[in-house]
Structure 1
Amino acid sequence: MSEMPAPVSRPIMAGVVTALVGFTSSFAVVLTGLSAVGASPGEAASGLLALSITMGLSCIALAWRYRMPITVAWSTPGAALLAATGVVDGGWPAAIGAFLLVAALTILAGLWPGFGRLIAQTPASIAQAMLAGVLLPLCLAPILGIAENPWGVLPVLLTWLVVARFAPRWAVPLAFVAAAIVVGVDTVRSGAAVDAGLLVPRLELTAPTFTIGAVVGIALPLFVVTMASQNVPGVAIMRSFGYEVPWRPAMFVTGIGTALGAPAGGHGINLAAISAALAAAPDADPDPKRRWVAGVSTGVSYLVLGGCAAAFAALVALAPAAVIPAVAGVALFASLGSAVHQAVADPSERMPSVVAFLIAASGVSLAGISAAFWALVAGLAVRAVLTFRR
């Protein structure tokens, strides 16, 4: 007797879980990054909405067209990079220009295979070391927050730790729930009023400008980090489940999505990496040919969550000191661990990686250009010297 197929609700629920975990695990990082490069609270909320819409539509388009559980996410490492970079010459409009340049480079990586191969030649160890340096200050925020606001931060950390023991994928989302409870209690106790107008989702468009500081300090590191930490691992994860992601169409769709979302504040979308497994694994559906439904469901769920973007941004604005940075920090613990591991895995690459890590972690900018760019330059330079004629 043949085995009964799993109900269609199973991949649908897998998609809903993928979107919920992906959104609630890192939206605080996105808002933090957008605010750091000059976005107002309204512009940051607009960016979160734009990202949700473009992610949702991209998931639906790719999964439906190729009948694969292809999922798209925002660049969480990229948002962390923005948080570490801060305001550059030209402010928020210059950041928008940098986002548009990232979109153009992404489309170019899909349309011109030679450019894609050139980017792939960037040593992964140095790119990951730079990312680790960028993530370090953000991951220290929960520890520093204990001293600043113990009664607000400890419930978040304890929730994260307990849930990580029994249900790791829900550890960060439930840490956010704990933070929301802390915010609610603090708001009631302080009697702060919430403006209902802030809860209405809306897009705020900004005309881009282009400055050297934004192009070199934001666009180039953001593109490298997104490719090395999201797109390339995303393809590898999908391949591990038997799916060969069409590279050129995927880069074209995510590049166009980034370009459309950039004027509204979206810093970039890309292939999902870690969360991709939630929709592509056998748990989504025993039949690999039916898991594409999970990709579509993920996209629809992102569109629904996008309607709550303004409410999430308002919650962040009401949070007491150190609470939201604590949530963002624990959300990046896994990314930091992975980046450090890849940075030092090859003994011959450790010294250049250490140099890149230290410069990125220092946060020092030179000539108006962020530390992330100089970390890449220094890491590559040290590597070139140490391997010359080897």
Structure 2
Amino acid sequence: MSQVTTTAPEEITEERTSIAVPLGAGAITALVGFTSTFAVVLSGLRAVGASPAQAASGLLILCFTQGVAILVLSFRYRIPITAAWSTPGAALLAGTGLVTGGWAGAVAAFAVTGLLIVITGLWQRLGALVAAIPVPIAQAMLAGVLIPLCLAPVTALQTSPAVVVPVIAVWLALQRFAPKWAVLAAFATAAVGTGIDIASRDRHLDLASMVPAVEWTAPQWHWQAIVGIAVPLYIVTMASQNIPGVAVMRSFGYQVPWRPSMLVTGIGTIAGAGAGGHAINLAAVSAALAAAPSASPDPKRRWIAAATAGMTYLVLGLASAALVTLIAAAPAGTVETVAGLALLATLAAALTGALSDPGHRIAGLVTFLVAAAGTTFLGIGGAFWALLAGLAIRRFLPSAD
């Protein structure tokens, strides 16, 4: 006589709960990553010459490539590896502005950035060379390019106070009571303010432009764009995202497969460049949301959270065109305000890293000032010259050794 085994209701409930926790953590990981910095991405792409449609395409392809990268790495290695777009890189683009070749020149630089990331995975010495750049110098360059963006909420008060004041007020209130949702709440407030502004002026949104679409651009190869965008974008992506991302994962007991991660994110960057994706990389801050114990008490099941984040990004990408359409109709300075508020914490961390070491303080300060000035020379943006200036000052001054 066969014996029938049954599962207790308590065990079924526990199993469902164990799956629900990482699924929820993964969805939150993607939502926080998307809503907290998508405005920065759009600002960066528009600054280097993208049209609204091309910027929407860039946001869409970034969601797609990083979502696929997360799924490939998390399923293959069964650890919660998450990818993200390069937020510092997007901020760098916003500070760089138009380059030789315009948008097509920037697209070529994006592809070169991806190629450099691939080479980093294949050639260990290049990764070591980037890691050898003093952290204060890299952080100072980042802080310098962030300054104009973080000043946007202040300058926008003069142009659109009716919308900007509530955005800042909501962001400040959430910073005190629920910091994780502060940027999302600020964007929601901006969206409401934009809706009221559209209604009051009897304007209408272009519904046709809200359909997601990929806009491919043929790259134009100009050495000024490659030096002025690709090199700083690669360095800031490695120093501010990939290397810290590995450290974050290590803090939770996970060893990131370095070469496969660089190959997957580098190839993803190359594949998305023509559609406007500037760079994808290992997640740093948001990586903790999927790798921490809150994602699952069992470390072996946290990869489910990462995989869920990857699938959520694929869905969120479909909203890119609608977001760009809404932003295009917003009062002047609205999206810049949201982007600036989203980057304040990054700016604070970058300034701390740039000036905390007395041995690098002068070199870091010079790097910061050159990057903040944003001066273009020989068709190359200020971020590249800031990096060179900081390294030269560090080598020249005895106190910096």
Provide TM-score, normalisation by structure 1.
0.98
Would you say 1:21 and 2:32 are equivalent positions?
yes
Shift of 1:387: 3.6
Name the residue aligned to 2:364: 353
Please give the alpha-carbon distance, in whole angstroms, between the structure 1 residues aligned to 2:31 and 2:266: 23
1:69 and 1:294 in contact (8 A); partners too: yes
Name the residue aligned to 1:123: 134
2:363 and 2:400 in contact (8 A); partners too: no
Would you say 1:38 and 2:49 are equivalent positions?
yes
1:365 and 1:371 in contact (8 A); partners too: yes
Name the residue aligned to 2:157: 146
SS in 2 for 1:201: coil
2:205 and 2:326 in contact (8 A); partners too: no
Please, which runs of 5 or more residues in structure 1 have no aligned partner?
A: none
Name the residue aligned to 1:73: 84
Would you say 1:180 and 2:182 are equivalent positions?
no
Shift of 1:336: 0.3
Please give the alpha-carbon distance, in whole angstroms, between the structure 2 residues aligned to 1:387 and 1:10: 54
Greater alpha carbon shift after TM alignment, 218-227 vs 166-175: 166-175
Please give the alpha-carbon distance, in whole angstroms, between the structure 1 residues aligned to 2:47 and 2:159: 20
Supply the AA of the counterpart residue of 1:257.
G
Please give the alpha-carbon distance, in whole angstroms, between the structure 2 residues aligned to 1:262 and 1:322: 27
Name the residue aligned to 1:295: 306
1:52 and 1:305 in contact (8 A); partners too: yes
Residue deviations 1:337-363, cap 9 Å, x none?
110111111110000000000000011
SS in 1 for 2:84: strand
2:175 and 2:182 in contact (8 A); partners too: yes
Shift of 1:389: 10
Shift of 1:148: 2.2
Would you say 1:382 and 2:397 are equivalent positions?
no
Name the residue aligned to 2:212: 201
Pairing 1:74-113 to 2, within 5 Å after superposition: 74-113=85-124
Please give the alpha-carbon distance, in whole angstroms, between the structure 2 residues aligned to 1:318 and 1:58: 33
Name the residue aligned to 1:326: 337
Please, which runs of 5 or more residues in structure 2 have no aligned partner?
A: 1-10
Shift of 1:7: 2.2
Please give the alpha-carbon distance, in whole angstroms, between the structure 1 residues aligned to 2:246 and 2:185: 28
1:152 and 1:322 in contact (8 A); partners too: no
Shift of 1:195: 1.6
Name the residue aligned to 1:282: 293
Over the matched positions of the two proteins, sequence identity in percent amounts to 56
Shift of 1:388: 8.8
Shift of 1:264: 0.3
Name the residue aligned to 2:316: 305
1:81 and 1:135 in contact (8 A); partners too: yes
Supply the AA of the counterpart residue of 1:220.
V
Would you say 1:270 and 2:281 are equivalent positions?
yes
Name the residue aligned to 1:341: 352
Name the residue aligned to 2:147: 136
Please give the alpha-carbon distance, in whole angstroms, between the structure 1 residues aligned to 2:165 and 2:256: 41
1:130 and 1:372 in contact (8 A); partners too: yes
Tell which structure's C-alpha radius of gyration is larger.
2
SS in 2 for 1:330: helix
SS in 1 for 2:92: helix
SS in 2 for 1:270: strand
- Which of 228, 233, 237 is the equivalent residue of 1:226? 237
Name the residue aligned to 1:191: 202
Supply the AA of the counterpart residue of 1:39.
A
Moved over 3 A (4+): 387-390
1:142 and 1:153 in contact (8 A); partners too: yes
* Aligned length, in residue pairs: 390
Residue deviations 1:14-68, cap 9 Å, x none?
1111111111111111111101101111111110101010011111111111111
2:359 and 2:400 in contact (8 A); partners too: no
Please give the alpha-carbon distance, in whole angstroms, between the structure 1 residues aligned to 2:317 and 2:38: 11
Supply the AA of the counterpart residue of 1:360.
A
Greater alpha carbon shift after TM alignment, 127-136 vs 142-151: 142-151
Provide TM-score, normalisation by structure 2.
0.95
Please give the alpha-carbon distance, in whole angstroms, between the structure 2 residues aligned to 1:251 and 1:142: 35
Supply the AA of the counterpart residue of 1:352.
A
